Amino acid sequence: MHASSNPARKPSGSALTRRLTHAVTAVAVLAACVTTPAASAAPLREVMFVGNNWDGTADVIRSTGDFAKIGRINVIPDKDQRLTEIYLNPIKLAFFLGIRSGPGEGHDQFVDDMYSTPDGTAMVVSRPSFADVVSLDLATGNIKWRFPVSGFRSDHMAVSPDGTKIAVSASTSNTVHVLDINTGRQLGSFKTGDKPHENVFTNGGRYLWNMSIGEVNNNFDAPWQDFLKGDRHITVVDAATYQVVRTIDLRGRLDAFGRKDLSNAVRPATFSPDFSKLYFQVSYFNGFIEYDVATDRVTRVKTLPKNPNTSDDRTTFVNDSRHHGLSMNPDGSKLCVAGTMDDYATVVDRATLQEGPLVTASKPYWATVSGDGRQCVISESGADQVTAIDFGTGRKVASVPVGDHPQRVRVARISAGWTSPTN
């Protein structure tokens, strides 16, 4: 056999060198492909977003310590364009003005809820008066994508545990839209009770719970007029298929517990760490309710003190809510309650339901947990500030001025060196 036809023939020195060079180059390219994204990913820092509903901005503050302000972003850079569309459409204009005179208390509602994208480059915001959700580039302040919701108003949102999906309530169409947080593409949707409000992902993102509050824009607030408030229930869906797996009308559960006097309109809500218990506020009530998920029963009701200076006239409550804002510390031992119309917040021991000191606050509208889990952070919509309350002592530790009428406060992650956009 001729030597050149032997497949086992060894390569010459120069050929071997070339092959080794190519192999090393290929390995280097592969290594670069594997390591470059991680190496080039910008370091992130934990912060808090504070949505200033009436002036259309979001403040960025530290998530722990002194909660000092870091910067601000304009969430309505397209305001002129949106207003032009609204004023040229009589139906949109009617709802826009209705939001102003109703839930907006004479003001436009420009920012309700907000979350950061997983890579920390964008803030995703629901804008009630513009009936949409937008993603804002945190570096430039420009809009990356916009999703108009069905109907005429967007409301509370929730982000999935993995940060990839965002659910938003479209309150006038009784619909929840679930979007890809990076692209704004709709992944699914489902129908709810009247006026969907709070959304909560549970069980590692397996389920999505929506709470409907019914009609809050009329003055049929007397107990005997309850039937005029619409269909209020909790809708639980499979977060992969968006099919309803459970519907819970708390009317019967509250009646069975002996509290026919309480509304079944579920406001802010929070779960125990193991998702076995749901704690929630309801319309008109100065307190909260405990619900056992497995047994489908109301198990405890906590009534909190009334402010003697607060009128009991239900028509004076902001959107039917006497108390609006509820959170739980990471180990599930303490609850934090925002007593909106009673002008205080308090930390409650979950085991005994004993409240701590009543911390004076001006129309507190939301309660969340600091980045380190040690404080409850409330928005004082009447004083344009956020206040931190220590879960351990129940005492106020810090207050920070923010924009006009802060409402939602969310922990977020953004680029470590972020500064406010210049636009």
Kindly provide the residue ranges of all beta strands, DSSP E only, lying in 87-195, ordered along the sequence.
113-116, 122-127, 132-137, 143-148, 154-159, 165-170, 175-180, 186-191
Predicted confidence at residue 415, as pLDDT, reads 96
3-state SS class at 251: helix
Predicted confidence at residue 222, as pLDDT, reads 85
Spatial contact of 312 and 318, defined as CB atoms under 8 Å apart: no
Predicted confidence at residue 116, as pLDDT, reads 98
Predicted confidence at residue 42, as pLDDT, reads 77
Q: From residue 122, how far is each of 81, 192, 296, 351 by CA, in Å?
A: 21, 29, 39, 39
Question: From edge to edge, which strands make up the β-sheet containing 406-415?
Answer: 69-74, 57-62, 44-52, 406-415
Spatial contact of 232 and 214, defined as CB atoms under 8 Å apart: yes
Eight-state DSSP code of residue 75: S
- Global pTM? 0.89
Eight-state DSSP code of residue 3: G
- Write the single-letter amino acid at 26: A
Eight-state DSSP code of residue 11: P
Closest CA to 232 of 171, 290, 183: 171
Closest CA to 282 of 308, 306, 254, 248: 254
Predicted confidence at residue 40, as pLDDT, reads 53
Q: Which residues contact 291 (CB under 8 A, 6 or more apart)?
A: 250, 253, 277, 278, 279, 280, 297, 298, 299
How many whole angstroms separate alpha carbon 94 and alpha carbon 180?
30
Spatial contact of 354 and 335, defined as CB atoms under 8 Å apart: no
Predicted confidence at residue 211, as pLDDT, reads 97
Per the structure block, which two tokens stand in for 399? Answer: 């207050």
- Write the single-letter amino acid at 355: E
Q: Which residues of 261-285 are buried (b: 16+ CB within 10 A; e: fewer)?
A: ebbbbbbbbbbbeebebbbbbbbbb
10 Å CB burial of residue 354 (0-12, 13-18, 19+) is exposed
DSSP, residue by residue, 299-340: EEEEEPPPPTTS---GGGSBTTBSS--EEE-TTSSEEEEEET
Spatial contact of 291 and 278, defined as CB atoms under 8 Å apart: yes
Task: Please report the domains of the chain, with CATH numbers, ordered by start residue.
Answer: 18-415 (2.130.10.10)
- Show pLDDT as tens, one digit a residue, over the chain (423 residues): 333 333 333 444 444 344 434 443 443 433 344 444 444 567 999 999 999 999 999 999 999 999 999 999 999 999 999 999 999 999 999 999 999 998 899 999 999 999 999 999 999 999 999 999 999 999 999 999 999 999 999 999 999 999 999 999 999 999 999 999 999 999 999 999 999 999 999 999 999 999 999 988 888 888 888 888 999 999 999 999 999 999 999 999 999 999 999 999 999 999 999 999 999 999 999 999 999 999 999 999 999 999 999 999 999 999 999 999 999 999 999 999 999 999 999 999 999 999 999 999 999 999 999 999 999 999 999 999 999 999 999 999 999 999 999 999 999 999 999 999 986
Q: From residue 161, how far is each of 34, 207, 323 by CA, in Å?
A: 25, 11, 27
